[in-house]
Amino acid sequence: MKSPWRGINNYLASALLVAILAGCASADRSNQRKAQAVVQLFLEAEFDTGDKTEVVPIYRSAPVPIRVFKAPFLDSGSLIDASVVDTMGGFSIVLKFDFHGKLALEHVSTAYKGNRIAVHAQFPERRWLAAPRVSTRITDGVLAFAPDATREEAVRIVHGLNNVAVKLGNKPKPGSKKQTD
């Protein structure tokens, strides 16, 4: 004898499964919106100045020790936008800073031409991502570098940085009509 509830249970189970899967997908999107990352830029020090500098390893596979000042000269507080862009043979992370960041980058790139800028990120993992050498004056407030990260990690970092920029009010929320220069 067949029970009339048997078919309903299958429908309920199917609906429950669809609801759970939809909830997982929205949870992933919610986690992406909540993800945060922080970036700090440190100037390379030409010589040991005691407790004001430290040696940090850049690149995980073949670490290159670089002496940097312990205090960052620029951080996520001045970040307007971050993006991952394709380049010949790979990809780069591009950071765009506000007026304060433009001034800081211009000063460092002018006064310390030839030195490196060490890029440190926390996404939530803490890691030194790169140390591009300053070869030209940076006047537009944009720093691009090839990170020591996979593309997935770079995308995660960029999402986190953009979320922090929105939270700080440096960048409009996605879908809002406010535009930045």
In angstroms, the CA 147 to CA 153 distance is 9
Neighbours of 81 (CB within 10 A): 17
Q: What type of residue sits at position 127?
A: R
pTM, two decimals, is 0.79
Domain with residues 36-168, CATH architecture:
2-Layer Sandwich (3.30)
Domain ranges of the chain: 1-34, 36-168
How remote is the C-alpha of 159 from its chain's centroid? Answer: 7
| Prior bond of 65 cis (ω within 30°) | no
pLDDT tens string, the chain, 181 residues long: the values are: 554 444 444 443 344 334 444 444 444 455 556 899 999 999 999 888 788 999 999 999 999 999 999 999 999 999 999 999 999 999 999 999 999 999 999 999 999 999 999 999 999 899 999 999 999 999 999 999 999 999 999 999 999 999 999 999 999 887 766 554 4
CA atoms 83, 84, 87, 92: torsion sign: positive
Q: Rounded distance, CA 167 to CA 163, Å?
A: 6
Instruction: Pull the structure tokens for residue 9.
Output: 């249970």
Q: Is 137:115 a contact under the CB 8 Å cutoff?
A: no
